[in-house]
Structure 1
Amino acid sequence: MSGAQGGWDAVVLAGGRGSRLGGVDKGSIRVAGRTLLDHALDAVRGAARVVVVGPEKDVPGVLWTREEPPGGGPAAGVAAGLRHVRADVVVVLAVDQPGVTSSTVERLLAVGGPAVLVDEDGREQWLAGAWRTGALVAALPDDPRGASMRSVLGPLLPAPVAALPGEARDVDTPADLER
């Protein structure tokens, strides 16, 4: 799937509360010597425009925004990010998936339609996918606060893209961080 006018854009969700990690800013957590935000930005480095939804940091080349209200959940974050997307195709990625790489993103985009990463157990990883921007905007409820990503994205019938080992792991708890 390639976007018109120079490719695709990316929305990186970095505004979660990190409550199961003691309230830390997930984007600042270090994994393999780099922050989770650095891992996510590297994964979407091919994007024409990168929008990060979360507390602003000193990172060049990134457009920052916040969901309303802050902490409104991932659907609210996607809605906030989409307001700044210009390409016909958008990759949506959560900041807490250090196993997602630019190769993962290339595989999602190669499907040619909506696509979502699927873990080893067959579960969709709704915050690792490639979408037609217009369809994603239309799928969001008028008030996206608290809406489940499954309810928003499932009806778009994305093609499953099998995750490679470790690719779909996320960092939600101290045990996840230890892995």
Structure 2
Amino acid sequence: MDPESFCAVVLAGGRGSRLGGVDKAAVEVDGRTLLAHALDAVREAAEVVVVGEEARTAPPGRPVTFVVEEPRHGGPAAGLLTGCDALVRTPAQAPRVAVVAVDMPRLTAATVRRLHAAARGRDGAVLVGPDGRRQLALVVDRVRLAAVAPGPEDRNGTAVWRLLEPLDLAEVAATGQEHRDVDTWTDVRDLDVP
């Protein structure tokens, strides 16, 4: 996969209410923040936009653009579309966007590569957990996404899967723990428990 062929959006907004209001991106797993894990998973992207509050310390290794979703706390779909709007590279320069939630520390660059491979000839691909649920880890064609995106005034509260429903997404089975997310302190504690 050509690293210049895609951009990435990391969804790091939200209130972290089930974590007691803690900034989820700053939570540490294995001695690294969840944001550092997410940036590692999309390290092959030509450009990365993080939708969330700017980190106090610069992410290691590369420049990252931070934006806040519009409308504020409008949900993951609003975050995804705000992140895409903030990309500098055009769809002609980078036709696909990888979208990952900041709270999935077991995602890797290999996961993103598998999603890219599965997306060939389709509108994109999405990671699916062992329970059959789609996860917030996907690769999508930017032109097709723009075609189904509501205007900024209609983004508030739009569900991600409703937004993506018209798209032809291949489902990619998660391997190992890559589907696991961190919503509570119990999730952090039990992250590697099968």
Q: TM-score, normalised by structure 2?
A: 0.86
Question: How many aligned residue pairs are there?
Answer: 176
- Deviation of 1:157 after TM superposition, in Å, equals 2.2
Structure-2 residue corresponding to 1:65: 67
Structure 1 runs, 4 residues or longer, greater than 4 Å off: none
Matching residue within 34, 38, 45 for 2:43:
45
SS for the counterpart of 2:82 is helix
CA displacement, residues 80-136 of structure 1 (integer Å, 9 cap, x when unaligned): 1011232210000010000111110010011113000000111111x2000001111
Q: Is the 8 A contact 1:75 1:140 kept in 2?
A: no
Q: Distance in 1 between matches of 2:15 and 2:148?
A: 25
Structure-1 residue corresponding to 2:186: 175
- Deviation of 1:139 after TM superposition, in Å, equals 1.8
Which structure 2 residues correspond to residues 116-135 of structure 1 after superposition, within 5 A? 116-125=126-135, 127-135=136-144
Does 1:158 find its partner at 2:156? no
Structure-2 residue corresponding to 1:100: 107
Q: Is the 8 A contact 1:75 1:146 kept in 2?
A: yes
Q: Is the 8 A contact 2:71 2:155 kept in 1?
A: no
Q: Distance in 1 between matches of 2:147 and 2:68?
A: 20
Q: Distance in 2 between matches of 1:95 and 1:139?
A: 24
Structure-1 residue corresponding to 2:13: 15
Q: Distance in 1 between matches of 2:165 and 2:2?
A: 21
Larger displacement relative to structure 2 (33-42 or 165-174): 165-174
SS for the counterpart of 1:155 is coil
The letter for the 2-side match of 1:136 is L
- Deviation of 1:158 after TM superposition, in Å, equals 0.5
Q: What is the CA RMSD across the aligned residues, in angstroms?
A: 1.4
Q: TM-score, normalised by structure 1?
A: 0.93
- Deviation of 1:69 after TM superposition, in Å, equals 2.5
The letter for the 2-side match of 1:48 is A
The letter for the 1-side match of 2:101 is A
- Deviation of 1:2 after TM superposition, in Å, equals 6.1
Matching residue within 101, 104, 109 for 2:116:
109
SS for the counterpart of 2:182 is coil
Q: Is the 8 A contact 2:11 2:100 kept in 1?
A: yes
Structure 1: which 5+ runs fail to align? none
Q: What percentage of aligned pairs have identical amino acids?
A: 53
